[in-house]
Amino acid sequence: MSEFVIVVDMGNTSTTVGLARAGRISGIRRLPTRTTCRTDVTAALTRLTRNRLIAGAMLCSVVPQCNHLWLRELQAFGGRPPRMLHHRMKLGLRIAYPNPASIGADRLANACGAAHRYGSPVIVADFGTALTFDVVANNAYMGGIIVPGLPLMTDYLAEKTALLPRLRLDRYHGIPRDLRTMPVIGKNTRQAMAIGARLGYLGMVREIFTRLQHTLKSRAVRLCATGSYAAWVLAECDLPVHLDPDLTLYGIARIYELNR
């Protein structure tokens, strides 16, 4: 039986953990980042690793204050010190960026995973707490664009207005998945907010992708999307996009293999 590697992507809102083996990701689980305690981590890793041979672990984090909890538990389950993903590791691509230490580890994982899966040039749109766009061209990480993510937008509307509700888009079913049948005019407040969020972010992705294509002087640049809200925004759209929900974990696993 070949060994598995535990891969962890710790974001500002949620932490995603899975098992990597031979280029495949399995057993994906999600926990809230800031309210997760040691018992939660232990339980998740116990369910994930049961009856499996674990070769090691890698943590990709943008929340430093939560690193110790995960590193301690990962060592217990992996049997050896876990690795922390950082810019000085072998990534399978160059970094053409003035201050590599300032690049989020998740963005490096996305760039590495996308370049390996789709080739270069490629643009990754990651729908997390922030919506980030990362560009790989000539097999180098070039930089990208950051805008507020969907949860920030809906939370801000609820906080800064007297009457607009707090809308959980990942639980809202008031508009159809198919854009062709989705109404454009909302018939209640929640529906109006959901339509605005979906069309607004789809338009944002389209405009940024078009501008980046023009900047890269290439119509052959690929676009892939990952993160919690990628499918919600982009499903059935007319953009040539690859929806890749496990891209970040795949990139973490790829970097682990490059640095074994």
CA distance 132 to 120: 18
Verify whether residue 106 is a known catalytic residue: yes
Q: Is 8 exposed, middle or buried (0-12, 13-18, 19+ CB in 10 A)?
A: buried
Residues 91-146 pLDDT 10s: 999 999 999 999 999 999 999 999 999 999 999 999 999 999 999 999 999 999 99
State residue 170's pLDDT score: 83
Residue 89 lies in a domain: no
Residue type, 136: V
Residue 213 lies in a domain: yes
Final residue in a domain of this structure, among 62, 84, 106: 84
Instruction: Based on the fold, state whether residues 38 and 152 are members of the same structural domain.
Output: no
Same domain, 151 and 64: no
Assigned domain for 254 exists:
no
Which one, of 15, 4, 3, 13, lies nearest residue 70 by Cα? 15
Residue 207 belongs to domain with CATH number: 3.30.420.40
Q: 72 with 186, same domain?
A: no
% of the chain exceeding 70 in pLDDT: 100
Task: Specify the pLDDT at position 178.
Answer: 87
Same domain, 131 and 220: yes
Does residue 173 sit in the same domain as residue 56? no
Can you give the pLDDT at residue 253? 98
Q: The tokens of 224 are what? A: 């892939």
Residue 42 domain boundaries? 4-84
- 15 lies in the same domain as 75: yes
pLDDT at 121: 97
Residues 127 and 241 reside in one and the same domain? yes
Most distant pair of Cα atoms in the chain: their distance: 58
Q: Let me know: does 74 contact 45? Beta carbons within 8 Å.
A: yes
Where residue 92 falls (left for φ over 0; alpha for ψ -120 to 50; beta otherwise) is left
Q: Which residue among 106, 126, 134, 244 is the active-site one?
A: 106
Residue 31 CB-half CA count within 13 A: 21
The answer to whether residues 16 and 130 belong to one domain is no
Q: Do 51 and 166 sit in the same domain of this protein?
A: no
Confidence at 177, pLDDT banded by 50, 70, 90: confident
Per cent of the chain over pLDDT 90 is 91
Residue 210 lies in a domain: yes
Whether residues 132 and 190 share a domain: the answer is yes
Give the count of domains, the chain. 2
User: Is 259 contained in some domain?
Assistant: no
**Residue 18 to residue 60: CA distance in whole angstroms:** 12
Q: For the segment 40-51, what is each residue's pLDDT rounded down to a tens digit?
A: 999 999 999 998
Three-class HEC string of the chain: CCCEEEEEEECCCEEEEEEEECCEEEEEEEEECCCCCHHHHHHHHHHHHCCCCEEEEEEEECCHHHHHHHHHHHHHHHCCCCEECCCCCCCCCEECCCCHHHCCHHHHHHHHHHHHHHCCCEEEEEECCEEEEEEEECCEEEEEEEEECHHHHHHHHHHHCCCCCCCCHHHCCCCCCCCCCCCCCCCCHHHHHHHHHHHHHHHHHHHHHHHHHHHHCCCCCEEEEEECCHHHHHCCCCCCEEECCCHHHHHHHHHHHHCC
Q: What is the pLDDT of residue 46?
A: 95
- Does the pLDDT value for residue 2 go beyond 80? no
118: number of Cβ within 10 Å: 19
Which of 84, 110, 145 corresponds to the end of one domain?
84
Q: What is the mean pLDDT of the chain?
A: 95
Q: How confident is the model at residue 78 (pLDDT cuts 50, 70, 90)?
A: confident
Please check the confidence at residue 249 and state whether its pLDDT lies above 70: yes
Separation between Cα atoms, residue 62 and residue 106, nearest integer Å: 7
Given 26, 56, 84, the domain boundary residue is 84
pLDDT at 72: 94
Q: Per the domain annotation, does 221 fall within a domain?
A: yes
The verdict on 72 and 20 lying in the same domain is yes
253 part of a folded domain: no
Query: Do 235 and 126 belong together in one domain?
Result: yes
Is residue 228 included in any domain, yes or no? yes
